[in-house]
Structure 1
Amino acid sequence: MSQSPSQRPDTPCVAVCSTTFDDVCRGCGRTVNEVAHWVFMTEEEKTKVWERITAEGYPRRQG
């Protein structure tokens, strides 16, 4: 992702949560573990997640 941490949203969440049923959220692309531990992750860890999910086409907003 080309945005710096200060320019991107606090979280990739798009309120299309599916981690109750899926290992990877259909809305944001994060794993169950990443969603659960997001608030405890360092900026470096969050950046790695952002880079992976955006490369995979997430977050996906409905509509």
Structure 2
Amino acid sequence: MSVVHAPDSPCRGFCTTALGDEICKSCGRTCAEVDGWIGFSPEQKLACWDRLKRQGWIDADCRPLRGRIE
């Protein structure tokens, strides 16, 4: 399973890792993924997109399925 045409980032504009959450309640990424995203290789980003898809955060077209924006 892999994401072919992913947006640049899964960020939805409200990061709860900045509030102390280990997993962002908005996009599903871990603190390490949020912090390191800009320096991630394409393979690392793809692995994150794949995990988000497997865990039900995004659909096959990388659209959010869950998470909140406040």
TM superposition score category, shorter chain reference: 0.7 to 0.9
Unaligned runs of 5+ in 1: none
Are 1:14 and 1:61, in contact at CA under 8 Å, matched by a contact in 2?
Answer: no
Unaligned runs of 5+ in 2: 58-63
Distance between the aligned counterparts of 1:27 and 1:41, measured in 2?
Answer: 20
| TM-score, normalised via structure 2 length | 0.73
Runs of 4+ displaced beyond 6 Å: none
Deviation at 1:62, TM superposition (A): 4.4
Deviation at 1:61, TM superposition (A): 5.3
Match of 1:56 in 2: 55
Distance between the aligned counterparts of 1:30 and 1:3, measured in 2?
Answer: 16
| TM-score, normalised via structure 1 length | 0.80
